Amino acid sequence: MSRFATIRPVGLAVALLVAVSVAVALTPPARSASRPQVTDVKGIEIVAHHTQGTFVGYGTGSLPGEWTAVVDHTPLSPNAKITGGTLRLVTTRGDATRTLGARFTGGSITNTNPGAGCTNQTFRVVGRLTPFSGYRSGTFSVTLTHYRHTFLGSCVSYFATTVGTLATA
C-alpha cells in the first residue's frame, strides 16, 4: 500500500482549509453594484423664477443621457439655500433605457462672481439628492452662468448655462 493511500481526517481537513484559503485570497473582489458613479453634465436654464430654476441638459460618463432638474431655493441675495426640487435622468446602457429620479433635500447656491457692470454672473450650485425612482443618494454640483447685457437701461439676464457633475454615493 502506498504511503499516500491513507490520509488522516485531520490532515485532509487542514489541506482543504489551506486550499480554500488560497482560492479566496486569489479571487479578485467582486464589483460592487453600489460603486459611485459620476456623470459630467451640461445644460441650460429654461425657466427662472424668483425661487425656482428649471434646467435641462445631457450627461456623459457613468450615467449618460438627458436630464431635467427643478431646483427650489430661497431668494438669491446674493446666495441661497436649496429647499427642494427634483432631478430626472433618462439613461441608456446597451439596449436598456431607464428613468432615474431623485429629490433635492438641501444644498446651497453661492454667488462666485457678482457680474459687476452688468457682466456675466456665476453661481456654484451644490444640491444633495435622495433617491425616489431607481437612483441613489448623491450630489448635483454645477457652475451656473447667467449671461447678461444692458437693454433699455436695465441689466438683463438673457441666457443661462450649467456645467458640472452628477455623482452618486
Kindly report, residue by residue over 138-147, the tens digit of the pLDDT. Answer: 999 999 999 9
Output the pLDDT for position 93.
Answer: 76
Kindly report, residue by residue over 41-61, the tens digit of the pLDDT. Answer: 999 999 999 999 999 999 998
Coil, strand or helix: which one is 136?
coil
The arithmetic mean of pLDDT across residues 111-116, rounded, is 96
What cell numbers appear for 115 in the block? 457680474
Kindly report, residue by residue over 78-103, the tens digit of the pLDDT. Answer: 999 999 999 999 988 778 898 889 99
Kindly report, residue by residue over 57-72, the tens digit of the pLDDT. Answer: 999 988 899 999 999 9
The full set of domain ranges for the chain reads 38-168
pLDDT exceeds 80 at position 19: no
Whether the model clears a pTM of 0.75, i.e. scores above it, the answer is yes
3-state secondary structure 44-77: EEEEEECCEEEEEEEEEECCCEEEEEEEEECCCC
